[in-house]
Amino acid sequence: MNAVEYHEATTHRRDRMSAGRRMDRATQPAQFKEYPQDLERVSLPRENAFPVMTMPEALAAPEALSQPLTMDRLARVLSLTCGLTASVGSIYLRSNPSAGALYPVEAYVAMPGAGEDAGGVFHYAPGEHALTRIRRGDGAAYAATTCRLPEGAGAPAAMFLFTTIFHRTAWKYGDRGYRYVLLDVGHVVENLLLACRAEHLGAVCVTDFADDAVNSLLGVDAEREVCQCMVAVYHGQAPDTAPPTEPRGLEYIEDRQAMAAASATVRNEPAYPMIVATHEAGNLARAESMQPGPVMDASALSLEVLSTEQLPGASELFAGRQLPPLARTMLSRRSQRGFLPEMPDDRTTQAFLRLLCDRLEGGGDEPDRTVATAVIMGRAEETAMYVLNRKAGKLERVRTHAERYPDGNLREAVADACLGQGWLARAAFQVLFLTDVSKLEATLGPRGYRRSGVLAGRQGERAYLAAQTLGMGACGVGAFFDDELAAALGLVQGGKGIYIVAAGPCQQR
């Protein structure tokens, strides 16, 4: 099953909802992955001084300043990436948002082995804030051979690998849950990239890698749990040599059956053949360089541009503004729906949009633009939709061609298409992440669908954190009547919405 077929099969329509599953308590997934007790556990420091850098400062800071990846620094990075932050009854909340608070993402760290340091591959247990060593040896070097890192990048200080356990999300959302696990991966990856910037560590996101080799490295059951994304982390030093093509030794997994059994979250876990088939269609047999892919902008989505506006620079928007440290923002982030029907002032609006850009002042390498970022905003009759050029920091106002709704009711149109969730219409900003699944398939093959889902999740997490940084709230939405949403937005030539994050001033909690 290719991505186009999967997306159509899981499309919500008023007369045919993509089938979720009755949440059978007998197959309710465990919240945390558990390994055999005889594996080595490494406790991480809990009392840790987090960086005081704000979100704008982190986005503007140099990525790497020769900082070693110490145990303290690793502990802080993991806490900010996907650590526990609170509990509500029996549900444990984390620094990353997740559809239905189901948290399908598992985090692994592959470390180099040098001298007396055994290195190896570790699983992060957020419930214990500890690492479980899966195998010893030069895990980072082995992980690096499964993908193509940027030329001249050198040997990574660590490779972070993020898997998803299908049943955690599909237990509630059925086959459409595959869309949501990709978004969840993006949330976690964006947290990691921002945490690395705050720690002055370099980081590179990699979505193309040899799937079987990576899953084998982690010892997972690939019918239940698969790697979706990797991030190479650097400490700023530039070695003279690239990662070795052959690892310097890696311990074998003696009991693969027991290791793979840890991927199961409950006895009698159901199978998800559509999800597995869709995922496997995009598997790569060997390491390949990431291709640029199609640029999803107003033109690619066949949206008519009415006007263009350049956002002010970061120095103008953030100078003298008292903002919380990024770490505090990440650890206190919550989904909020109590939106007030009001727009923030113009400077706050522009600051919010600037924080959605890849770099605060533009420039730099060409970002992945296989997903377009659109924003519906404005006061009353001035409400309109804009496409954000995340590299140049420009806004393009576009015509929506929404036949049922004039421009002034765009917010209501989106709320109606999102299963009639009225709170969405009160949000100051409706940030929409759009792509053309057919163009992705034609250009990048089935792998493009994974990449776009992860990128949409990354940009969605950026919207969450930008809103919280500026004293607002945010909440993500992945359930909507797909064709109605596309029609309301004027996506008449194949464009699709894949994620929405509502943001704006909220009632005080």
User: What CATH number is associated with residue 453?
Assistant: 3.40.109.10
Task: Provide the 10 A C-beta neighbour count for residue 273.
Answer: 10
> Is residue 9 situated within a structural domain?
no
Whether residue 260 is found in the same domain as residue 355? no
> Is residue 18 situated within a structural domain?
no
Whether residue 129 is found in the same domain as residue 90? yes
Structure tokens at 296: 């999803």
Mean pLDDT over each residue of the chain, to the nearest integer = 90
Based on DSSP, count helices (H) and strands (E) in the chain, helices before strands: 16, 16
The most confident of the ranges 255-259, 267-271, 356-360, 434-438 is 434-438
Q: Give the pLDDT confidence score for residue 238 in this predicted structure.
A: 42
Q: Does residue 115 register a pLDDT over 70?
A: no
Q: Does residue 463 register a pLDDT over 80?
A: yes
How many angstroms separate the CA atoms of 38 and 105, rounded? 24
Whether residue 216 is found in the same domain as residue 313? no
Q: Give the HSE-up count for residue 147: Cα atoms under 13 Å, Cβ half-sphere.
A: 31
Q: Give the pLDDT confidence score for residue 362 in this predicted structure.
A: 44
Whether residue 220 is found in the same domain as residue 313? no
- Banded pLDDT at 241 (limits 50, 70, 90): very low
Whether residue 271 is found in the same domain as residue 310? no
- Banded pLDDT at 360 (limits 50, 70, 90): low
Whether residue 464 is found in the same domain as residue 367? yes
Structural domain range at position 273: 31-239+254-281
Domain count, the chain: 2
Percent of the chain with pLDDT over 70: 91
Residues 240-253, mean pLDDT to the nearest whole number:
62
- Banded pLDDT at 236 (limits 50, 70, 90): low
Whether residue 226 is found in the same domain as residue 320? no
Q: Give the pLDDT confidence score for residue 449 in this predicted structure.
A: 96
Residues 402-414, mean pLDDT to the nearest whole number:
70
More confident residue, 466 or 402: 466
pLDDT in tens, 73-100: 999 999 999 999 998 888 899 999 999 9
**Contact by Cβ (8 Å): 315, 351:** no
Q: Does residue 432 register a pLDDT over 70?
A: yes
Residues 180-199, mean pLDDT to the nearest whole number:
96
Q: Does residue 405 register a pLDDT over 80?
A: no
Residue the block writes with tokens 């969730």: 421
Q: Give the pLDDT confidence score for residue 117 in this predicted structure.
A: 66
Please tell me the least confidently modeled range out of 40-44, 59-63, 411-415, 432-436: 59-63
Q: Does residue 152 register a pLDDT over 70?
A: no
Task: Provide the 10 A C-beta neighbour count for residue 340.
Answer: 16
Whether residue 168 is found in the same domain as residue 66? yes
Whether residue 57 is found in the same domain as residue 200? yes
Task: Provide the 10 A C-beta neighbour count for residue 215.
Answer: 21
Q: Does residue 222 register a pLDDT over 50?
A: yes
Dihedral, 502, 504, 507, 509 alpha carbons, nearest 10: 70
> Is residue 318 situated within a structural domain?
yes
pLDDT in tens, 469-493: 999 999 999 999 999 999 999 897 8
> Is residue 19 situated within a structural domain?
no
Residues 205-231, mean pLDDT to the nearest whole number:
96
Q: Does residue 328 register a pLDDT over 70?
A: yes
pLDDT in tens, 277-298: 999 999 999 888 778 889 999 9
Q: Give the pLDDT confidence score for residue 265 in this predicted structure.
A: 94
> Is residue 137 situated within a structural domain?
yes
Q: What does the radius of gyration of the chain's CA atoms come to, in whole angstroms?
A: 22
Residues 48-72, mean pLDDT to the nearest whole number:
84
- Banded pLDDT at 403 (limits 50, 70, 90): very low
Whether residue 332 is found in the same domain as residue 221? no
Q: Does residue 239 register a pLDDT over 60?
A: no
> Is residue 229 situated within a structural domain?
yes
- Banded pLDDT at 270 (limits 50, 70, 90): very high
CA of residue 496 relative to chain centroid, distance: 18
Q: Give the pLDDT confidence score for residue 365 in this predicted structure.
A: 56
Q: Give the pLDDT confidence score for residue 358 in this predicted structure.
A: 78
> Is residue 289 situated within a structural domain?
no
Instruction: Report which residue type is found at 104.
Output: P
Please tell me the least confidently modeled range out of 50-64, 196-210, 293-307: 50-64
- Banded pLDDT at 240 (limits 50, 70, 90): very low
Q: Give the pLDDT confidence score for residue 114 in this predicted structure.
A: 62
Q: Give the pLDDT confidence score for residue 25 in this predicted structure.
A: 87
- Banded pLDDT at 19 (limits 50, 70, 90): low
**Range list of H helices, 146-272:** 166-173, 177-198, 211-218, 256-261
Whether residue 36 is found in the same domain as residue 89? yes
Residues 234-241, mean pLDDT to the nearest whole number:
55
Percent of the chain with pLDDT over 90: 73
Please tell me the least confidently modeled range out of 107-121, 154-168, 185-199: 107-121
DSSP 137-182: B-HHHHHHHTB-PPTT----SEEEEEEEEHHHHHHHHGGGHHHHHH
Residues 299-323, mean pLDDT to the nearest whole number:
93
> Is residue 2 situated within a structural domain?
no
Q: Does residue 233 register a pLDDT over 90?
A: yes
Whether residue 155 is found in the same domain as residue 188? yes
Domain boundary (281, 296, 331) is at: 281
**Contact by Cβ (8 Å): 375, 401:** no
Instruction: Report which residue type is found at 77.
Output: V
H or E stretch covering 353: helix 346-355
